[in-house]
Amino acid sequence: MLRSRRTLGFTLLEVMVALAIFATAAIALTKVAMQYTQATANAILRTKAQFVALNEVANMEINQEWLQGTQSEQSTQQGEMWQIDKSAQSTISPNVQRIEVQVSLLNADSGKVQAGITHLVFFNYKAKV
Protein backbone atom coordinates (compact mmCIF):
# COMPACT_ATOMS: atom_id res chain seq x y z
CA MET A 1 0.00 0.00 0.00
CA LEU A 2 1.59 3.29 -1.14
CA ARG A 3 0.75 6.42 0.61
CA SER A 4 1.26 9.82 -0.86
CA ARG A 5 3.49 11.86 1.29
CA ARG A 6 1.80 15.01 2.51
CA THR A 7 3.95 17.99 3.35
CA LEU A 8 2.87 20.28 6.10
CA GLY A 9 4.36 23.74 6.62
CA PHE A 10 7.01 25.51 4.61
CA THR A 11 10.17 24.12 3.17
CA LEU A 12 13.52 25.55 4.16
CA LEU A 13 13.88 27.20 0.76
CA GLU A 14 10.54 29.00 1.12
CA VAL A 15 11.50 30.30 4.56
CA MET A 16 14.87 31.56 3.28
CA VAL A 17 13.23 33.39 0.36
CA ALA A 18 10.69 35.00 2.71
CA LEU A 19 13.48 36.12 5.06
CA ALA A 20 15.46 37.60 2.16
CA ILE A 21 12.43 39.60 1.04
CA PHE A 22 11.78 40.80 4.58
CA ALA A 23 15.44 41.79 5.07
CA THR A 24 15.46 43.77 1.82
CA ALA A 25 12.28 45.63 2.81
CA ALA A 26 13.66 46.32 6.32
CA ILE A 27 16.88 47.79 4.90
CA ALA A 28 14.93 50.04 2.53
CA LEU A 29 12.67 51.28 5.34
CA THR A 30 15.69 51.94 7.57
CA LYS A 31 17.31 54.05 4.83
CA VAL A 32 14.12 56.08 4.39
CA ALA A 33 13.86 56.64 8.15
CA MET A 34 17.49 57.76 8.35
CA GLN A 35 17.03 60.21 5.47
CA TYR A 36 13.90 61.62 7.11
CA THR A 37 15.71 62.05 10.43
CA GLN A 38 18.65 63.78 8.75
CA ALA A 39 16.39 66.09 6.75
CA THR A 40 14.51 67.03 9.92
CA ALA A 41 17.75 67.78 11.78
CA ASN A 42 18.97 69.96 8.88
CA ALA A 43 15.67 71.85 8.79
CA ILE A 44 15.88 72.51 12.53
CA LEU A 45 19.46 73.78 12.17
CA ARG A 46 18.51 76.08 9.26
CA THR A 47 15.57 77.44 11.26
CA LYS A 48 17.83 78.16 14.25
CA ALA A 49 20.34 79.93 11.99
CA GLN A 50 17.56 82.03 10.48
CA PHE A 51 16.47 83.11 13.97
CA VAL A 52 20.07 84.06 14.79
CA ALA A 53 20.28 86.18 11.63
CA LEU A 54 16.94 87.85 12.36
CA ASN A 55 18.06 88.56 15.95
CA GLU A 56 21.19 90.23 14.58
CA VAL A 57 19.11 92.40 12.23
CA ALA A 58 16.76 93.35 15.08
CA ASN A 59 19.69 94.29 17.33
CA MET A 60 21.18 96.50 14.61
CA GLU A 61 17.85 98.23 14.11
CA ILE A 62 17.19 98.68 17.85
CA ASN A 63 20.70 100.06 18.47
CA GLN A 64 20.57 102.10 15.25
CA GLU A 65 23.94 100.62 14.33
CA TRP A 66 25.58 101.90 11.15
CA LEU A 67 28.05 99.30 9.92
CA GLN A 68 31.34 100.26 8.29
CA GLY A 69 32.99 97.53 6.18
CA THR A 70 32.75 94.06 7.65
CA GLN A 71 32.27 92.69 11.14
CA SER A 72 32.52 89.18 12.57
CA GLU A 73 31.51 87.85 15.93
CA GLN A 74 30.81 84.57 17.64
CA SER A 75 27.63 84.01 19.58
CA THR A 76 25.87 81.25 21.46
CA GLN A 77 22.16 81.22 20.67
CA GLN A 78 19.53 78.55 20.20
CA GLY A 79 21.81 76.04 21.94
CA GLU A 80 24.54 76.29 19.27
CA MET A 81 27.75 78.24 18.66
CA TRP A 82 27.52 80.54 15.64
CA GLN A 83 29.85 82.67 13.56
CA ILE A 84 28.03 85.82 12.43
CA ASP A 85 29.64 87.75 9.56
CA LYS A 86 28.16 91.09 8.50
CA SER A 87 29.15 93.10 5.46
CA ALA A 88 27.97 96.60 4.55
CA GLN A 89 27.65 97.97 1.03
CA SER A 90 26.63 101.46 0.06
CA THR A 91 23.54 102.15 -2.01
CA ILE A 92 22.51 105.09 -4.17
CA SER A 93 21.12 106.76 -1.06
CA PRO A 94 23.72 107.90 1.50
CA ASN A 95 21.25 107.13 4.31
CA VAL A 96 20.67 103.50 3.32
CA GLN A 97 23.13 100.63 3.31
CA ARG A 98 22.81 97.05 2.17
CA ILE A 99 23.81 94.59 4.89
CA GLU A 100 24.57 90.94 4.23
CA VAL A 101 24.45 88.65 7.26
CA GLN A 102 26.05 85.20 6.95
CA VAL A 103 25.43 82.77 9.82
CA SER A 104 27.67 79.71 10.08
CA LEU A 105 27.76 76.86 12.56
CA LEU A 106 30.88 76.71 14.73
CA ASN A 107 32.45 73.50 15.97
CA ALA A 108 32.50 73.92 19.75
CA ASP A 109 35.65 71.82 20.17
CA SER A 110 37.89 73.32 17.48
CA GLY A 111 36.30 76.77 17.24
CA LYS A 112 36.28 76.49 13.44
CA VAL A 113 33.38 77.07 11.07
CA GLN A 114 31.68 73.82 10.10
CA ALA A 115 29.23 75.08 7.51
CA GLY A 116 27.48 78.22 6.35
CA ILE A 117 23.83 77.77 7.22
CA THR A 118 21.95 80.88 6.20
CA HIS A 119 22.47 84.15 4.36
CA LEU A 120 20.25 87.18 4.86
CA VAL A 121 20.20 90.57 3.13
CA PHE A 122 18.48 93.64 4.56
CA PHE A 123 18.63 97.39 4.19
CA ASN A 124 19.74 99.49 7.13
CA TYR A 125 18.64 103.11 7.50
CA LYS A 126 20.78 105.78 9.10
CA ALA A 127 19.33 107.16 12.32
CA LYS A 128 17.84 110.63 12.01
CA VAL A 129 19.71 113.10 14.16
Query: What is the value of pTM for the model shown?
Result: 0.73
Q: Which three-class secondary structure state does DSSP give residue 118? A: strand
The mean pLDDT value of the chain amounts to 87
User: Average pLDDT of 74-98?
Assistant: 90
Res 122 pLDDT > 70: yes
**According to the model, what pLDDT value does residue 34 have?**
95
Alpha-carbon gap, residue 7 to 11, rounded angstroms: 9
- Please state the rounded mean pLDDT for residues 95-102: 92
Average pLDDT over residues 11-36: 93
For residue 24, what pLDDT band results from cuts at 50, 70 and 90? very high
Distances (CA, A) of 22 to 18, 26, 35, 60, 66: 6, 6, 20, 57, 63
Write the single-letter amino acid at 129: V
Provide the pLDDT confidence category of residue 6 given band limits of 50, 70 and 90: low
pLDDT over 80 (residue 95)? yes
Please give the average per-residue pLDDT across 33-62, as a whole number: 92
**Residue 117 · residue 106 · CB < 8 Å:** no
Has residue 20 got a pLDDT over 90? yes
